Amino acid sequence: MCPVKKSPTILVADDHPLLLKGLVEELETKAYQVIGQAKNGSNALSMIIENEPDIAILDVEMPLLSGIEVIQKVKENQEVTKFIILTSHKENSIIIQAKNLHISGYLLKDEPFEELENCIQAVIRGEMYFSKTFSEVLEEKVNPQLKKIKYLTPSERTILRMIAQDNSSKKIALKLSISIRTVEKHRSNIINKLDLSFSEASLSSWVRDNKELILSL
C-alpha cells in the first residue's frame, strides 16, 4: 500500500509557548505544512477563518476562547477545516462536547507524537481517530447513560433538560403550565428509569455529572 501523501495545511493553537514550539517543530520535521500558530483562542479563530487550513490542532483550555468555542464558531462559518483536540482534559463534559461537534480527532498530551501523526494521517484519509481514553469514556460512561435516557418520554426529557438548566420544580411548573405535583411525578419517573436511588440528591448529582449530555439532546 502506498503511503498517504503528507500535504495538508495545519494550524496549531496552544497557550503554552514551549509546547506550541515543540509541536510545530516536530510537525515541520515530519514535512507537514504548518501555516499558522496561535497562543489563544481568539487568534486561532481568526487565523482558521482567514486561512481555512485543512486541519486545526487545538488545546481545549486557552485564553479568550476555549478550543471547543473556537470549533463551534468556525463551524458557523466554514466546513473545510477538520479538528483535532490535543489536551490534558479527560472530563466527561469535554468529551461529550467534542463528540457533539463531530471532531475528527481527540488525543491526550501525554501520548507519544506517533499517535498524533497516526491521527493526522487518519484525518487526511477522511477517518476519525480518538484516544483510548476518549473511547473508554464514550463506551463506559456516556453511551450507557444515553441508553437510559432513551426510555424517557418526551415530557420527561423536557423536564430533565430544565432541571439541567437549574430550574426548580416551581419554575418548571410555571413555565410548562402544569402543577408542581405533576412535575414531581415526572421527577419520580425519571429517577426510576435512570435507575437512581429515590432521593432529590441522587437526581441532582446525576444531572450535574451528565449536564452536557442532557443539554445536547
Same-domain pairing of 163 and 122 = no
Same-domain pairing of 161 and 93 = no
Q: Which domain holds residue 19?
A: 9-138
The CATH number of whichever domain residue 76 belongs to comes to 3.40.50.2300
For the segment 77-90, what is each residue's pLDDT rounded down to a tens digit?
888 999 999 988 77
136-175 burial, b at 16+ Cβ within 10 Å, e below that, comes to ebbeeebeebeeebeebeeebbbbbbbbbeebebeebbee
Same-domain pairing of 44 and 111 = yes
pLDDT band of residue 185 (cuts 50, 70, 90) is very high
For the segment 128-183, what is each residue's pLDDT rounded down to a tens digit?
998 887 788 778 777 888 888 888 999 999 999 999 999 999 999 999 999 999 99
Q: Is the pLDDT of residue 188 over 60?
A: yes
What is the structure's pLDDT at 2?
Answer: 47
- Nearest C-alpha neighbor of 83 from the set 73, 164, 92: 73
C-alpha dihedral over 39, 42, 48, 51, to 10 degrees? -90
- The more confidently predicted of residues 100 and 83 is 83
| Assigned domain for 72 exists | yes
Element housing 118 (H / E): helix 113-124
User: Under a CB-based contact definition with an 8 Å cutoff, are residues 60 and 41 in contact?
Assistant: no
**Which cell numbers in the block locate residue 118?**
497516526
**Which cell numbers in the block locate residue 110?**
501525554
- Counted residue by residue, the chain has a size of 217
Q: What are the backbone angles phi and psi of residue 118, rounded to the nearest 5°?
A: -60, -40
| Assigned domain for 44 exists | yes
Same-domain pairing of 123 and 181 = no
What is the pLDDT averaged over residues 60-76? 92
Residue % of the chain over a pLDDT of 70: 96
What is the structure's pLDDT at 5?
Answer: 52
151 vs 194: CA distance, rounded Å: 8
Q: Is the pLDDT of residue 192 over 50?
A: yes
| Assigned domain for 160 exists | yes
Q: Is the pLDDT of residue 3 over 80?
A: no
203 vs 208: CA distance, rounded Å: 9
Same-domain pairing of 104 and 29 = yes
Q: How would you class 111 by CB atoms within 10 Å of its CB: exposed for 0-12, middle for 13-18, buried for 19 or more?
A: middle
The CATH number of whichever domain residue 171 belongs to comes to 1.10.10.10
Give me the long-range contacts of 103-107 (CB less than 8 A, separation at least 24).
Answer: 103/71, 103/128, 104/55, 104/128, 104/129, 105/129, 105/130, 106/130, 106/131, 106/134, 107/131
Q: What are the backbone angles phi and psi of residue 11, rounded to the nearest 5°?
A: -115, 140
What is the structure's pLDDT at 1?
Answer: 43
